[in-house]
A and B are shown apart, each in its own frame.
Chain A
Amino acid sequence: MKAFLRLRLAQLKGRYPYLLFALSVLLLIIVFACVYYGRHVESLTKGDLAESLSFYEQQLADKLVDPQSPQDIMTAGKYRFFLDTQTAKWMYWDPLYLLSGQAYSSACYKLLVIVMPLLTPVVAVFFAYAFFGEDIASGYCREYFHSRLSRRQVFRASFFSSFGLFVVPWLLVLLFLFLSASPMFGIKLLCVNLDSTSAYSALEGAAFAVISCLISAFLNFALVGFLAFSRVNGLPVVLPIVLFYMMVMLAMLWQSVPRFSYAMPLIGASVPLASLLVSGLSGVYWGSWLNLLAALLLALVCYGLLRRRYGEGTF
């Protein structure tokens, strides 16, 4: 593994202009998103908040009161942060210290649960192809056999060294966002979706997003590796991305029709990558765990089929 990490560093040496460019773009996206969300949250507090709050207050009074446990009646101090899935707007409940340093945390939180699950698979595909996929597609793997490592050792080392190269800095970004969003973890969030309203802890949402990101990155690496066996130029890069966005667009389209909004997790589950994204996007539905489970099962089936088709491929 140590030798493979040396290999990766040597590869980086040859690719640094592209990687520098990719990382700069990524950094710009994150900075832009931070600033944008920060301002967005602020403007909401000044404008639509009062109207939205009165709407939700009524809605919550109608729906959140559980006759079995009267202590769960909503109070202003308990539920302070809102996600309206129809408008994708996030709002605070407590207007008194809304602008005093909370906007940054909420921007980081939003980045973590919405942007990162969206961005992770795409960046993972890029890295997976640039290192692990290319090892197979360009035949570098064949040359590693000179050292008489077994096929399994070569694949494992190539996979994990590529994955490590991606996931370590990525994990730091996730950790940074997670810690930045931590002031929100003591509060609960309300998720309002047409005729249903649910509450969940902000910490659960953030943890779910981090897990989603890591699993989707892992699946992407595996998928690209197996697709690389097919030796069709560009397929390892294009297919996961196309599948990914196609399913996302489809899920969003369906969700925009109120009657079919329930179908989003079902559609999302039909493709593991998109499902993970949709899970992350919807972020925090309790149903997402089921969705994630379905996605993982489908990913295993997908893995099995690909392995059967290409796993015995030669170099």
Chain B
Amino acid sequence: MLQVQDIHKSYGKNLVLKGVSLEAAPGQVVGLIGANGCGKSTLLKIIVGLAPADEGTCQFNGQESATSTEVGFMIEEPSFYPNLSGYENLSLIASLFPPDRRPDVDWALEKVGLSERKKDKYRTYSLGMKQRLHFALAIMSKPSLLILDEPFNGIDPVTVIAFEELIGEFAKQGATVLISSHGIRELQAIVDKAYILDSGVIAYKTDKPHEVDLFAVFKDIVARSGAGLR
């Protein structure tokens, strides 16, 4: 169970998150929707421990999520060594894991359909392949909590479907999945619960995302807060 409570975060004088709370149960796929700069990525970074929160707590199964060993994530642009192959990149990071939790790199590459190209240098990969490798990194340790920030950015519809299937597969096996995306329609198809983040606060929450028009709700929130293009 992921429990995020009253998270505050500021960068200098800019208050990015103002008391954000959310919950995600095992086997649940939770969507986080919001405009650019509303604080989605910051929240996800805090959950995985890449950024410290000013206030508030993030716990996963009773343990601080930032230090939990059961977390896999895909946040922002992938950062891999361009002169190494996809396999070498994942293997190097896998070698940083303790021996008893060493991830299965081959399994992850097969899952994302990169087995054929695993020995090619990362710099020769297309944008979609880079995203797939990033996804493989997130899942290679078979995590119980999967955090995905804009996983569908820059990938073709076939890969989107493949990713959605993989996410569903993880959730079925009992993993908690938290996804942020601009693609509301894509997200709506796979989530069990959705939050809309606007200007650092949770502006909307639903446990029945299939029964509401999330796009219309989001449009309405943006119009009310004036957070659209200015």
Q: Which of A6-14, A68-76, A179-187 contacts B (4 or more CB under 8 A)?
A: A6-14
Minimum CB–CB distance from B60 to chain A (whole Å) comes to 12
Docked Cα-Cα span, A151 to B96, in Å, equals 13
Assess whether A148 is in contact with B67, with CB atoms less than 8 Å apart: yes
Q: B51 on the interface (CB 8 Å rule)? A: yes
CB closest residue in chain B, given A314: B51
Assess whether A10 is in contact with B51, with CB atoms less than 8 Å apart: no
Assess whether A149 is in contact with B52, with CB atoms less than 8 Å apart: no
Q: How many residues of A contact B (CB 8 A)?
A: 25
When the two chains form the complex, which single residue of A11, A139, A150, A314 contacts B79, counting CB atoms closer than 8 Å?
A: A139
CB closest residue in chain B, given A145: B50
Name the residue in B52, B73, B81, B97 with the highest tally of chain A Cβ atoms < 10 Å from its Cβ: B81
Q: Which residues of B contact A145 (CB under 8 A)?
A: 48-50, 73
CB closest residue in chain B, given A137: B79
Which residues of chain A (123-145) have a CB below 8 Å from chain B? 138-140, 142-145
Minimum CB–CB distance from B95 to chain A (whole Å) comes to 5
Assess whether A143 is in contact with B137, with CB atoms less than 8 Å apart: yes
Which residues of chain A (11-27) have a CB below 8 Å from chain B? 11, 13-15
Q: B201 on the interface (CB 8 Å rule)? A: no
Assess whether A140 is in contact with B79, with CB atoms less than 8 Å apart: yes
Name the residue in A7, A138, A148, A314 with the highest tally of chain B Cβ atoms < 10 Å from its Cβ: A148
Q: Which residues of A contact B71 (CB under 8 A)?
A: 148
Q: A315 on the interface (CB 8 Å rule)? A: yes
Q: Which residues of B contact A100 (CB under 8 A)?
A: none
Assess whether A13 is in contact with B50, with CB atoms less than 8 Å apart: no
Q: B80 on the interface (CB 8 Å rule)? A: yes
Which residues of chain B (95-110) have a CB below 8 Å from chain A? 95-98
Assess whether A146 is in contact with B77, with CB atoms less than 8 Å apart: no
Q: A87 on the interface (CB 8 Å rule)? A: no
**Interface positions of B (Cβ within 8 A of A):** 42, 45, 48-52, 67-69, 71-73, 75-84, 88, 92-98, 137-138, 140-141
**Interface positions of A (Cβ within 8 A of B):** 3-4, 6-7, 10-11, 13-15, 138-140, 142-151, 312, 314-315
24 contacts between A and B (CB under 8 A): A3-B92, A3-B95, A3-B96, A4-B96, A6-B92, A6-B95, A10-B92, A14-B81, A14-B84, A138-B79, A139-B79, A143-B78, A143-B93, A145-B49, A145-B73, A146-B96, A146-B97, A147-B98, A148-B68, A148-B69, A148-B97, A150-B67, A314-B45, A315-B45
Beyond known contacts A143-B79, A148-B68, A314-B50: 10 more, CB 8 A cutoff: A6-B92, A7-B92, A139-B77, A139-B79, A145-B73, A146-B97, A146-B137, A146-B141, A147-B94, A312-B52
